[in-house]
Amino acid sequence: MSALHVRTLTQLADGLRRKSFSSVELVSEMLARIEKSQPLLNAFISVTGAAALAAAREADRALAAGGGGALAGVPIAHKDIFCTAGVRTTCGSRMLDNFVSPYDATVVAKLGRAGAVVLGKTNMDEFAMGSSNENSFYGPVRNPWNPQLVPGGSSGGSAAAVAARLVAGATGTDTGGSIRQPAALCGITGMKPTYGRVSRYGMVAFASSLDQGGTLTASAADAALMLREMAGFDPRDSTSVDTPVPDYVAALEQPIAGLKVGLLAEFFDKGLDGDNERCVREALRVFESLGARVRQVSLPSLPLSVPVYYVVAPAECSSNLARYDGVRFGHRCEQPRDLNDMYRRSRGEGFGAEVKRRIMTGTYVLSAGYYDAYYLKAQRVRALINADFIRAFEEVDVLIGPTTPTPAFPLGAKTEDPITMYLNDIYTIGANLAGLPAISVPCGFAQGLPVGLQIVGPHFSEARVLAAAHAFQGATDWHSRIPVGFA
Amino acid sequence: MALTREQIASIATLARLELSPEEVPLYQDSLSRILEFVGALERADTANVTPMAHPLAGLTQRLRPDEVSEGDRHECYQRNAPLTAAALYLVPKVIE
Amino acid sequence: MSAWETVIGLEIHAQLATRSKIFSGSPTAYGAPPNTQADLVDLGYPGVLPVLNVEAVRMAVKLGLAIGARIAPLSVFARKNYFYPDLPKGYQISQYELPIVADGALEIVLEDGAVKRIGITRAHLEEDAGKSLHEGLPGMTGIDLNRAGTPLVEIVSEPDMRSAKEAVAYMKKMHTLVRYLEICDGNMQEGSFRCDANVSVRRAGTQKFGTRAEIKNLNSFRFIERAINFEVERQIELLESGRPVVQETRLYDPDKGETRSMRSKEEANDYRYFPDPDLLPLKVDAALIESVRATLPELPDQKAARLTAQYGLSAYDAGVLAASRELAAYYEEVVRAAPADPKLAANWVMGELAAALNKEGLEVSSGRMPAARLGGLLGRLQDGTISGKIAKEVFELMWAHGSSADEVIESKGLRQITDSAAIARAIEEVMAKNPAQLADYRAGKDKLFGFFVGQVMKATGGKANPAQLNELLRSRLRG
Ligand SMILES: [Mg+2]
Ligand SMILES: [Zn+2]
């Protein structure tokens, strides 16, 4: 029994339940692939082989006994931003290089209860700040489609691992596009649910009002299955919403004939690469052929989403990252002269350049005399953008557009100027500002590189968004393409 | 909106970040560019728009019953601590 | 008299008497071994999130109702950002622009008996910080985070107080109130109830406020008075010698009896408040307010007024008794046991009893002298079984042996002599023993009457009924 890795998470879950193969076989194959890929892709920060095999044996026992959860025996990985009891959680930072969480994030616990087997913790931009995965203390992750290129970020490790079929699915977090953008650049499916749908408890905070956990998988059907097990109300998270989780899997087959699709005018701007535009427009024709009614909609304030984001996210991060002070956990400098020296050097040494840049930006926009001009102003414009979306969803069921302006770019290409890097998220940030569910699905190739299509829905319309993506994937096969060398 | 070295220094102090002399001009340049970039917000007309602090418009804070649910686990928690003694977290002397 | 007027505003921090912390499930008990009551949320561990304790909210609302304040239908938690080792997250969760309680007031009684209204700007919910320990750790400071996350209500007054005495009166009144409401144990040694004083002076008659200094963490009424008085003198001296008062945070040193500048807290205190994205706006609806209102006890002022009306006590006595919910309850129990003379009961509770308790540093609640037992003694006093003088003696013995009034009176045979014949016999003996004084008295030396009273009392061991003795003695002495 070989080549299990080419199967989707859904197929693997079924195969395990039908005992066509064992979790131990599957996990062993995947661990071997991870080990082999690591020097090239660097997708993982920690690989937990022994624990994974033990969990696989456990899953096989449960399955043999006719038990086991919906994901029993299925190999997955967690972005190293999710706290895992007993396994170090670094957030891609020197600051947390030897931090071992005493507790499991709610997402980790839920997927564990569903029977998923965790093979390791994936690489990421430090504290989820980045769009290329070049900001990791553990070195950059490389794109399985072309190792000279970035996988996107900040969930670059998770995206590369799924694209290279090292795991069937992986968790990620999306604050400004950190699931959708790497999913697009790696040719996989990335789902960011509604803010409040997935618990943030145990997910190391970057920007609390924007962060949302989600999935990176090969297909929308896989996303539906994984999200169904991950989502749900959590009393430990005050921003977690107490509404029941629909069976996203059961809802996948709802027809999209008659679905009102809004084409986001603002997304087809000068920054959009020609090939990306071509792929997205072809995707729209697919939707039309499936009976969807496409019309243009305009969100006039949306072009301001990046400026809003780069005030709000740094502001929240400057406060969220103040807890890394070298006192209770995390890096502490050698021989501090005094308290302030300890603070300044521990943080100066523990944080990388981009994290420091954002902390300083956030500190500035919140400081006396600038709060109103920057922070408050940004929160007002955020309200305008939110209102734009609400208005749009009175006319259409979902909004569709490109996920990114361009395909994957070479390492180092955008590290010089932060703004050019920030603009990678120009199409994804809006959904975070408004807390909307959004998915990126593969919709073609530009010079051999995957291009992503983004589908955004109203709050808590995950089922509809997933069904639309699933319908599209039923009519296309972009999502089943596997990078050469990993097939 | 160009920032001076002094401004960078005071922001770094407020944020408790040690910057090397080489880093200062780099942050001076990139922060200035970022502030210029976000300066675009000025042009938006936000007269009588209420600031949006989080995406869950209309939702309010859930309240927890007043119950003790956590026990003493300081030994486990302090395994991550750089320096402790007698169950206390140690820091360089705080002068007051 | 003075050319200067003092202006004082207080920020009182009262720890709320909840079982668990404001945002976590850790216990709040005082005095536990270091860091044994600090969970992941209190430690600000990566990934953890705050969830608000309903009881902290109810207690803040209770306070708001008791001071006639507005309860905000929607209030917002904000982050106050600053670095300090006892502040785990690098920010304190507090309320800034929209506090839960606003526009209240408390009335205090000044020395001249006049009543003064002290405005209360706001009261907001926030979390307490941990503690820094400097002793026994050379070159190091130890951090104990047991206190971190303990719910606090910060009560901010208007700058309405004009002297240290007024400030203390206000502080005491608030102290009484929070204990009445059972929202704070009021233990000042343990820091459950403490205040920061904003002090400034200005030329008498001028309107503009002077530059103020904030004196931090005053945790005893005595310190508050001393610290403020010292600070006022310091500021007047500065101003009179033409030097300015700098706006700063100062610390009171009880040993030196002076305040000194606290530069450490000063540098770069730009708190960068912004709404905490981990918490949603706090909604307090009418239902919650009414359910809290239903739990409001009789408040100190109401109780004092009732004691005056019901028992005819002076405003002063009623005030003293009402100052403590326990003391007032004790007093009323004594009156129930000896209803004839409520004023007498008040005198004994505030006199003999208070003195005896003080000597042993006890509270009425200690049960050292049950109210019913004291009532029993007053009953015997009222029915004439013993005289006031004997009553004090009986009280001493009751206190010493924990026995009842009747047991003492019987065992010591202290029952008052009301038998005229017996008293007359004693008078005859005394007259016989003191012929000279008798002669002088009869010659008009009326002052000697007291001498004879004393002698007869002595002869009867103080048990002769005073009224009868006077009457009989007068007639006998006349001859
Ligand atoms: Mg204060
Ligand atoms: Zn306070």
Which two three-digit tokens encode residue A317?
A: 């991060």
Using one digit for the tens of pLDDT, what is the confidence trace for A432-475? 999 999 999 999 999 999 999 999 999 999 999 999 999 999 99
The verdict on B79 touching C (C-beta cutoff 8 Å) is no
B-C Cβ pairs (cutoff 8 Å, strict):
122
| Catalytically annotated residue among A23, A178, A199, A440 | A178
The C-alpha atoms of residue A88 and residue C292 are separated, in whole angstroms, by 46
CB C319 within 8 A of CB C304: yes
- pLDDT attached to residue C414: 81
- pLDDT attached to residue C267: 55
- Does the pLDDT value for residue C264 go beyond 60? no
CB A362 within 8 A of CB A317: yes
Determine the distance separating the centroid of ligand 2 and the alpha carbon of B1, expressed in angstroms.
35
The verdict on A368 touching C (C-beta cutoff 8 Å) is yes
Which two three-digit tokens encode residue A97?
A: 């290089």
Helices (H), A338-484: 339-350, 353-366, 377-395, 418-422, 429-434, 462-475
The C-alpha atoms of residue A148 and residue A407 are separated, in whole angstroms, by 13
Helices (H), C312-341: 315-322, 325-337
Q: What's the whole-number mean pLDDT along residues B61-73? A: 98
The C-alpha atoms of residue B62 and residue C51 are separated, in whole angstroms, by 7
* Angle of CA points A110, A114, A116, to nearest 5°: 100
Full-model pTM: 0.92
Q: What is the number of the ligand closest to the CA of C152? A: 2
The C-alpha atoms of residue A126 and residue A131 are separated, in whole angstroms, by 11
Nearest CA in chain A to C89: A323
The verdict on C143 touching A (C-beta cutoff 8 Å) is yes
CB contacts of B9 in chain C (<8 Å) are none
Q: What's the whole-number mean pLDDT along residues A287-309? A: 96
Peptide bond preceding A154: is omega within 30 degrees of 0, i.e. cis? yes
Taking CA atoms, B90 is separated from C85, C89, C193, in Å, by: 9, 16, 27
| Secondary structure element (H or E) that encloses residue A339, with its range | helix A339-350
Contact criterion met (CB < 8 Å) for A322 and C278: no
- Cα–Cα nearest to A180, from A465, A467, A459: A465
Helices (H), C188-220: none
- pLDDT attached to residue A1: 42
| Catalytically annotated residue among A37, A154, A155, A461 | A154
- Smallest Cβ distance to C51: which of A209, A238, A315? A238
CB contacts of C27 in chain B (<8 Å) are 68, 70
Determine the distance separating the centroid of ligand 2 and the alpha carbon of C126, expressed in angstroms.
7
Q: What's the whole-number mean pLDDT along residues C227-255? A: 94
**Which has more pLDDT, C387 or C373?**
C373
Worst-scoring range by mean pLDDT, A185-194, A344-353, C362-371, C408-417? C408-417
- Does the pLDDT value for residue B96 go beyond 70? no
Interface with C, mutate which of B68, B77, B84 (most C CBs under 10 A): B68
Using one digit for the tens of pLDDT, what is the confidence trace for C95-144? 999 999 999 999 998 988 899 999 999 999 999 999 999 888 889 999 99
CB contacts of C88 in chain A (<8 Å) are 323, 327-328
Taking CA atoms, A458 is separated from A238, A312, A376, A404, A426, in Å, by: 21, 22, 25, 20, 19
A178 catalytic residue (yes or no): yes
How many H helices and E strands in chain C? 17, 17
Contact criterion met (CB < 8 Å) for C91 and A363: no
A356 catalytic residue (yes or no): no
Task: Spell out a b/e string for C209-244, using b for 16 or more CB atoms within 10 Å of the CB, else e.
Answer: ebebbbbbebbbbebbbbbbbbbbebbbeebeeeee
Using one digit for the tens of pLDDT, what is the confidence trace for A369-398? 999 999 999 999 999 999 999 999 999 999
Bridge partners for C80 per DSSP: C92
A270 catalytic residue (yes or no): no
CB C335 within 8 A of CB C329: no
3-state secondary structure (DSSP) of residue A153: coil
* Strand-strand pairing, C77-81 and C274-275: antiparallel
Which two three-digit tokens encode residue B67?
A: 């119950």
The verdict on A371 touching C (C-beta cutoff 8 Å) is yes
Length of chain B: 96
DSSP string for residues in A25-37: HHHHHHHHHHHHH
Using one digit for the tens of pLDDT, what is the confidence trace for A26-83? 999 999 999 999 999 999 999 999 999 999 999 999 999 999 999 999 999 999 999 9
Interface with B, mutate which of C28, C37, C39 (most B CBs under 10 A): C39
- Cα–Cα nearest to A429, from A391, A370, A367, A378: A378
Dihedral, A258, A260, A265, A270 alpha carbons, nearest 10: -50
The C-alpha atoms of residue A286 and residue A278 are separated, in whole angstroms, by 13
Q: Identify the residue whose tokens are 């535009």.
A: A277
- Smallest Cβ distance to A338: which of B31, B49, B92? B92
Instruction: Kindly report the average pLDDT of chain A as a whole number.
Output: 97
Determine the distance separating the centroid of ligand 2 and the alpha carbon of C383, expressed in angstroms.
56
ipTM above 0.95, yes or no: yes
Nearest CA in chain B to A324: B16
Q: What's the whole-number mean pLDDT along residues C77-84? A: 97
Helix axes C315-322, C300-311, angle to 10 degrees: 130
CA distance B76 to chain A (A): 7
Contact criterion met (CB < 8 Å) for A323 and C83: no
Which two three-digit tokens encode residue A49?
A: 């082989």
Q: What's the whole-number mean pLDDT along residues A260-279? A: 93
CB A268 within 8 A of CB A258: no
Percentage, residues of chain C above pLDDT 70 = 99
Using one digit for the tens of pLDDT, what is the confidence trace for C268-287? 579 999 999 999 999 999 99
The C-alpha atoms of residue B95 and residue B92 are separated, in whole angstroms, by 9
Determine the distance separating the centroid of ligand 1 and the alpha carbon of C99, expressed in angstroms.
13
Instruction: Kindly report the average pLDDT of chain C as a whole number.
Output: 93
